[in-house]
Structure 1
Amino acid sequence: MESSTLLPWIYTLLIASTVVFLGGAVARFIRHKEATVWYRGSMGLLGFAIALTLLEILFALSRTR
């Protein structure tokens, strides 16, 4: 079985999304208005990680045929 090239990027994006999301939670606790930017950023990173995961799944399925 070949190792994936996108897997480290997916993990990196998931960790970055978690860090930005927690930063948003702290910003919301301190100042309410700044939290929205943090949450939007974390959702953007999470969406990109999900897109990479779907690409990885499609690539793995295409190799099995």
Structure 2
Amino acid sequence: MLDDASNTPPQYVIELRAWISDWYDHAFKVGYVYPPFALDAAIADRLEGYFQAGLTPAEGAIAFFGLVH
């Protein structure tokens, strides 16, 4: 999904990619993931939902890896 005029992704995609990068950094820092980590379509969709819900990357990592009560 690129902007035809400039071949750059739309602002939403840029912000989502930055959010996912920050999510990964936090998840790695607290020990939830270790490289290499494969981001497949199902994980990306779930993370996009957290992004759209307004969670911070740290909150998204907790939601993704947290225990279900």
> TM-score w.r.t. structure 2 length?
0.37
Which protein is bigger by CA-based radius of gyration?
Answer: 1
The higher relative CO (CA closer than 8 Å, separation ≥ 6) is in 1
> TM-score w.r.t. structure 1 length?
0.39
